[in-house]
């Protein structure tokens, strides 16, 4: 958690005039609800570049999602850490996080609609090549990235990290345009094998390009260094799985978006 605090302080201290990676808060609306996300880009890079939508965990848009967007900006992408709950909605207790995530998931049209509204913010940014877009997310955010793909969004790639894997309908699966990378903890007890099997079968039937990576010894939230602080059984950081999954994401983005490996 100290690492995330240090990141936030460093960004605040840097200010809008600092060289290198820049950040900007952006407010947008969907069906009367106001959201606030954060764009990140490297102003040392000239011209338009690929855009990556980053979707937060079930806690809401916190420093972790913003940190990942910052890392993507350093790799040469424009990243938008979006907000799926609304301005100021951030949970610290799992019960509150679960309620907020469930409220969104219970209405697929709203779930997808909010994700598409965020993708539009990214695509419309002056630094972005809107023909090269991807989405990625963590836990709830990974499921959201998949729902965005199910909506037929014009994405080149989708990457999930320790996400639930909602099964698309046959029509939704056929609407997927992106190559899909699932980064999964092989020992994640939160995601049932039945769900994994149904997800894989649905994508296979629609001939979707899917790569499923399961990391031995990794459990839920394996990419989040602060996961252990929540004291929830089955959630823990795994440095090796974190490193390997981030590299797998970079490889896919290099292939589909023309970015760095």
Give me the pLDDT at residue 10, please: 45
Which of the 8 DSSP states describes residue 16?
T
Residue 36 CB partners (closer than 8 Å, separation 6+): 25, 26, 27, 28, 61, 83, 87
- The helix/strand/coil state of 67 is helix
Give me the pLDDT at residue 256, please: 98
What superfamily in CATH does domain 20-257 come from?
Alpha/Beta hydrolase fold, catalytic domain (3.40.50.1820)
pLDDT digits (tens, 9 = 90+) for 32-49: 999 999 999 999 888 999
pLDDT digits (tens, 9 = 90+) for 177-216: 999 999 999 999 999 999 999 999 999 999 999 999 999 9
Name the pTM for this structure. 0.91
Residue ranges per domain, the chain? 20-257
Is the pLDDT at 8 greater than 50? The verdict is no
CB atoms within 10 A of CB 130: 15
Burial of 116 (0-12, 13-18, 19+ CB in 10 A): middle
């Amino acid at each position: 958690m100290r690492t995330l605090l240090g990141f936030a302080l460093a960004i605040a201290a840097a200010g809008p005039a600092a060289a290198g990676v820049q950040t900007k808060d952006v407010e947008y609306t969907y069906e009367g609800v106001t959201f606030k996300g954060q764009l990140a880009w490297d102003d040392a890079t000239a011209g338009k570049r690929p855009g990556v939508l980053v979707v937060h965990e079930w806690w809401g848009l916190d420093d972790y999602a913003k940190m990942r967007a910052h890392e993507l900006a350093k790799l040469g992408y424009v990243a938008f850490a979006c907000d799926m709950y609304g301005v100021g909605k951030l949970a610290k207790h799992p019960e509150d996080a679960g309620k907020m995530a469930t409220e969104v998931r219970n209405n697929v049209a709203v779930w997808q609609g909010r994700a598409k509204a965020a993708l539009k913010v990214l695509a419309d940014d002056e630094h972005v090549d809107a023909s090269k877009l991807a989405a990625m997310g963590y836990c709830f955010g990974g499921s959201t990235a998949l729902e965005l793909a199910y909506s037929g969004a014009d994405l080149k790639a989708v990457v999930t990290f320790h996400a639930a894997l909602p099964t698309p309908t046959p029509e939704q699966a056929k609407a997927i345009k992106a190559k899909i990378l699932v980064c999964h903890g092989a020992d994640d007890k939160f995601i049932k094998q039945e769900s994994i099997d149904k997800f894989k079968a649905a994508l296979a039937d629609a001939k979707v390009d899917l790569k499923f990576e399961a990391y031995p010894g990794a459990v839920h939230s394996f990419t989040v260094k602060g996961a252990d602080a929540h004291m929830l059984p089955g959630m823990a950081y795994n440095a090796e799985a974190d490193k390997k999954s981030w590299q797998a994401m970079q490889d896919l983005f290099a292939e589909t978006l023309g970015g760095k490996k």
